Structure 1
Amino acid sequence: MAKATESLEQFYQNKYGSISEDFHYNIGQFNVFRIEDRIRAGTTSPTFIRRDFFKIMLFQGDNIFHFGSKSIPVSGSTLLFFNPQVPYTYEPLTAGTAGYFCVFRDEFFKENLRMNLAELRLFEAGAQPVFSLDEEQAHELQHIFEKIIIEFDTDYSFKYELIRNYVSELIYLGMKLQPVNNILKHTNAASRITSVFTELLERQFPIESASQRFELRSPKVAADKLSIHVNYLNRAIKKTTGRTTTDLIFERLTAEAKVLLRYSNWNIAEISYVLGFEDQAHFNNFFKKQTTMSPSAFRWV
């Protein structure tokens, strides 16, 4: 199968041709870059795959970012958050594009952030973490990135502790940009159940090996995994989302099928197997019902 996830080691290997000696001593393997430097170096757009690291980007210019099955145009100053659960890429960078980005693994924050990064709305698989900024917001975030760059090049013994505080500021400012109802979670039992179900569903992906197989094919299986009655699960999800449990499972399964069809070299029979279908015919019928296209037609569009 074609590479489905890029590791942070591969990211540095592709950028520098080697990994620095202190890479493994830097908890979370943090680094920060100017986008202008990437353009001058002739760096191309990243491959559409998942990464095993987080990225925060302050982007200044016009472009189209592709998150999973979504394409989001941006213009002006934009703050973006990328997580290991969702594949992404963007259109080629053009002259005049500017900005910054930093990369790190979740270890960078494990003992210092009050919440696990994966629990933050900004880094959830279903989030759309793209925020248009006004001039004042853009200036504030640019100042933070400049402080990170300056500190990163020092020999200060506690520089990573200080940088961690700056990155935390980026994260919390990003959370502040969201509507209140996107930040408040678990206000009742139904929302808690829906959140736990969503987390369980997302943990099934990405599928990167033939030894993996998606088995969360029905609300009953999901309910059993959560140790609750299937009717309770269905009512909770319907109440909080207005949709059925089956709808959510099928939607996520279809999204993964699209990624595997378009960005892997597995044949359709192999894809149907790892996605939990009895045979290719069942997968063909499912995919066509969800997208109005056959898997083979979608693969070559």
Structure 2
Amino acid sequence: MENSGIPRMELEKFAADGYKVPLLNVEHLPLDASYFIIENRDEYPVKDYISPHRRKFYKIFHMTAGTGGLTIGLHRYEMGPDEIAFLHPDEIMSWQTTSAETGGHFCLIHPDYFGHEADHVLQLFRQYPYFQPDKAVIRLEPEQSARINGFFGTMFREDRGYHDDKKQAIMLQLQMLLLESRRAGKNRAEMPVSEGYGHIYRFLSLLESSFQVQNRDSMVKLKTAAEFADQLHVHPNYLNALIRNHTGKTLREHIQDRLLHEAKSLLVQTDWEINEISNGLGFSGQAAFTTFFRKKVNVSPSLFRKNACA
């Protein structure tokens, strides 16, 4: 490791940047998450969190009340009422609430939700200019915000209803939402992210890319805190302190959490043998993998798969 890459900070600046921040819980969507989720922010308040990429979901959220800080990649926005944000599945994002008041809606849409009959809507999403981190937040006029809130309200009711054509109704509302937002087209000015958050973003991005076990012949690239720090050209102690004080967990805990999440995904979403999953995740053997998994989940990998697929 080259010393020139290690950040040097005065103690007062490090304390200010590294310790006086809210804890951001790192969240992954459940493995069995529905392909379409819509919630009312009044009844489902958003807590402070950071979400790595590979969520596989597009996310749109609209605010009618409250304030908060949204960071998408390395672009930060201070959001408030009458604003809407568009988040692409491949981007790391975080949210920090800055007011007790809340209002609006959010929805998550998996690409598979569209299906063949609504492929044209999926193409709209893929080409939509505001699913980019530097254009992700739009300021709405009050009447535009009211119309968009109405689109969300209709989708919310349809999703919880029993009409045979409710998906068609939801698709129509989504298209109207995209159209209304495009007409508004007033992007919010972004703010620079802190140096500390930049290191957190790069760590989480590297963590995700290192654990993409996509076939039986692939294997995780990095496993130790020192390896991650070396790749990011920072001192392991500095990176560990930064991550711990922003998320409440150490580098090792994040690596083990991501390893466990990938193990669960492979057990539920593939038909690979246990030893193939063990090899892909870099364990010395199936026994070592089973010991790790049982310690974290209190059941063996085979029993977890059986229960999840029952």
The TM-score with structure 2 as length reference comes to: 0.51
In the other structure, the counterpart of 1:190 is: none
How far apart, in 2, do the equivalents of 1:89 and 1:156 lie?
A: 35
Aligned residues: 188
Q: How does 1:59-208 map to 2 (within 5 A)?
A: 59-60=63-64, 61-92=66-97, 94-111=99-116, 112=118, 113=120, 115=123, 117-124=125-132, 126-178=133-185, 206-208=208-210
Unaligned runs of 5+ residues in structure 2 are 1-24, 188-205, 215-221, 243-310
Query: After superposition, what is the alpha-carbon deviation per residue over 1:86-139, rounded to whole angstroms, capped at 9, x for unaligned?
Result: 111211364321110111101223532252633332224x44310111211111
Q: CA RMSD in A?
A: 3.4
In the other structure, the counterpart of 1:54 is: 58
How far apart, in 2, do the equivalents of 1:97 and 1:153 lie?
A: 22
In the other structure, the counterpart of 1:215 is: none
Q: Cα 1:158–1:66, aligned 2, differ >3 Å: closer, same or farther?
A: same
**What SS class does the counterpart of residue 6 from structure 1 fall into?**
coil
Fraction of identical pairs, as percent: 14
How far apart, in 1, do the equivalents of 2:104 and 2:90 lie?
A: 24
In the other structure, the counterpart of 1:32 is: 38
How far apart, in 2, do the equivalents of 1:131 and 1:268 lie?
A: 40
How far apart, in 2, do the equivalents of 1:296 and 1:83 lie?
A: 32
Query: After superposition, what is the alpha-carbon deviation per residue over 1:257-292, rounded to whole angstroms, capped at 9, x for unaligned?
Result: xxxxxxx984242x37xxxxxxx4xx56xx5xxxxx
Query: Which of 1 and 2 has higher RCO (CA within 8 Å, sep 6+)?
Result: 2
The letter of the residue matching 1:122 is Y
The TM-score with structure 1 as length reference comes to: 0.53
The answer on whether the counterparts of 2:87 and 2:136 sit within 8 Å (CA) in structure 1 is yes
The letter of the residue matching 1:7 is L
- Structure 1 runs (4+) greater than 6 angstroms displaced: none
Query: Which residue of 20, 25, 29 maps to 1:7?
Result: 29
Unaligned runs of 5+ residues in structure 1 are 13-22, 24-28, 181-203, 213-263, 273-279, 288-292
Query: After superposition, what is the alpha-carbon deviation per residue over 1:155-182, rounded to whole angstroms, capped at 9, x for unaligned?
Result: 11010111111012212322333379xx
Query: After superposition, what is the alpha-carbon deviation per residue over 1:180-217, rounded to whole angstroms, capped at 9, x for unaligned?
Result: 9xxxxxxxxxxxxxxxxxxxxxxx995142769xxxxx
